[in-house]
Amino acid sequence: MLAITSVPAREFTRGNPVLTRTRSVLAAAGAAALVILAWGPAALSHSTAESVMAATAGCGKTPTLRSGTYSLQHNGKSRSYILRVPDNYDNTRQYRLVFGFHWLNGTATDVATGQTVQRDVWSYYGLQRLANNTAIFVAPQGLNNGWANSAGEDVTLVDAIINQIESDLCVDTAQRFAVGFSYGGAMSNALACARPDVFRAVAVQSGAQLSGCGGGTQPVAYLGIHGLRDSVLAISQGRTLRDRFVRNNGCTAQNPPEPSQGSLSHRVTTYSGCRSGYPVTWAAFDEGHIAAPQDGATGDSGSRTWVPAEVWRFFTQFTSPTPSPSPSPSPSASPSPSPSPGTGSCRVTYTTNAWNTGLTTAIKITNTGSTAVNGWALRFTLSPGQVITNGWNAIYEPTSGAVTATNVSYNADLAAGASLDIGFQATHTGNTTAPATFTLNGSPCTTA
């Protein structure tokens, strides 16, 4: 069985010169030299009802924003961001909104292009290709190529960018996310602290508390990723950030297992006992201060890193609206319902993005029947040579040949007319052909 936290094998590609510069600059200056200022959470709070439940003003509007670089005046300074709007944008559809924050001495262009690891493949930390036109991406530019966030000015910059985008584009306000590496991870953590009613979840890669933590008492879905041998921002600093949200989210405290040094592997742990809808996940890997680690080899790899799939799985597990932060009746997760055979009709859209010996696949399942499905199993046969190495929003068994993708606890119910998205990453030996047929709980599906 391959669960959504599987650990695939990888091979070596090349290193990352910009991240190497990041390492040397931070090591020389020291994290303590960065100015860390807190701000008053009351002054920056937003209404949960407004930010979560309201449709954005851009829905149904002919947009003026397109993919490109935009500038704005904020706090008496000229600031900028790079926007990536999905191809064939539909102004009646609410899209996820994902912020990607660069590292120290990195740039918005580095994030938007992925050029420091693998151009295009690693755009927006590798999430753009996994999103497959289901999300709007934003890469803000930090002052002095960093995120000191003095007096909270970078947090309020994000507020201003959100206002500008959502007044023009159609965004799902319960599906805002932030991800970043190093200083960018610190900025993502600052947003988790200061804007828990604005951001649904954050992914902090090799971060530390460098950008402040105004507020920091409310639950936010939190994914922390850190290298055991990080000599720039020690893994203990990442654990400290994680543990704040273990407490805020009501999770059961633990010391999650981590890989042994020298193993060149990673381990992912999802905490138990967390409040419903507010998970905490911790991924530790045996490497240093790098953003795209791979199993079985050293250095960054855009096409072979396991990190983007893990982040995308974490982000896409959520549906609207954001739940109330009240504790779950039980600390243990509810078991997924057993699929009922032969219920209703279905349609499957299967999109593959292939490169060299790897590929990612986005699968949209639509219940075209008149009754809801409670527990589902999608069956299909992979082409010879394709082997699933990682997946999200489903459990895949086996990982090659005739595969069954089974729901996880949070997406078991599929209402009549509703759709859900799952996907996986795989290796291949040259044949990237999509499966010919699909069945949902034993009933044949049409393909789109």
3-state SS, 278-299, equals CCEEEEEECCCCCCCECCCCCC
Summarised one tens digit per residue, pLDDT across range 158-184 is: 999 999 999 999 999 999 999 999 999
User: Does pLDDT of 409 surpass 60?
Assistant: yes
How many Å apart are CA 368 and CA 143, to the nearest integer? 49
* Strand pairing class (77-84; 68-74): antiparallel
Could you tell me which residues are beta bridge partners of residue 444? Answer: 439
Summarised one tens digit per residue, pLDDT across range 228-273 is: 999 999 999 999 999 999 999 999 999 999 999 999 999 999 999 9
CA 172 and chain centroid, separation: 15
Which H or E run includes 117?
none
How many Å apart are CA 389 and CA 167, to the nearest integer? 39
> Which domains, ranges and CATH numbers included, belong to the chain?
68-317 (3.40.50.1820), 346-447 (2.60.40.290)
* 8 A C-beta contact, residue 102 and residue 139: yes
User: Does pLDDT of 338 surpass 90?
Assistant: no
Pick the residue with more confidence: 27 or 137?
Answer: 137
Which has the minimum average pLDDT: 16-20, 149-153, 179-183, 380-384? 16-20
User: Does pLDDT of 7 surpass 90?
Assistant: no
pLDDT at 345: 84
pLDDT at 330: 33
How many Å apart are CA 19 and CA 104, to the nearest integer? 9
Which has the minimum average pLDDT: 32-46, 58-72, 94-108, 123-137? 32-46
> How sure is the predictor about 203, in pLDDT bands with cuts at 50, 70 and 90?
very high
Q: For 132, which DSSP code?
A: T
Question: If you average pLDDT over residues 123-129, what whole number do you get?
Answer: 96
How many Å apart are CA 399 and CA 241, to the nearest integer? 34
How many Å apart are CA 78 and CA 73, to the nearest integer? 5
Which has the minimum average pLDDT: 97-111, 210-224, 275-289, 324-338? 324-338
Question: Which residues neighbour 138 within 8 Å (Cβ) at sequence distance 6 or greater?
Answer: 81, 82, 83, 84, 97, 98, 99, 100, 161, 165
pLDDT at 331: 35
User: Does pLDDT of 28 surpass 50?
Assistant: no
Could you tell me which residues are beta bridge partners of residue 391? Answer: 424
Q: Chain-wide mean pLDDT for the chain? A: 84
Cα angle 345, 348, 351; round to 5 = 180
In angstroms, what CA-CA distances link 95 with 17, 162, 318, 326? Answer: 33, 13, 13, 27
Closest alpha carbon to 403 in 382, 385, 376: 382
pLDDT at 410: 74
Cα angle 280, 286, 289; round to 5 = 85
* 8 A C-beta contact, residue 440 and residue 376: yes
Pick the residue with more confidence: 196 or 332?
Answer: 196
User: Does pLDDT of 327 surpass 50?
Assistant: no
CB atoms within 10 A of CB 27: 13
Pick the residue with more confidence: 273 or 319?
Answer: 273
Pick the residue with more confidence: 373 or 143?
Answer: 143
CB atoms within 10 A of CB 115: 16
How many Å apart are CA 175 and CA 259, to the nearest integer? 32
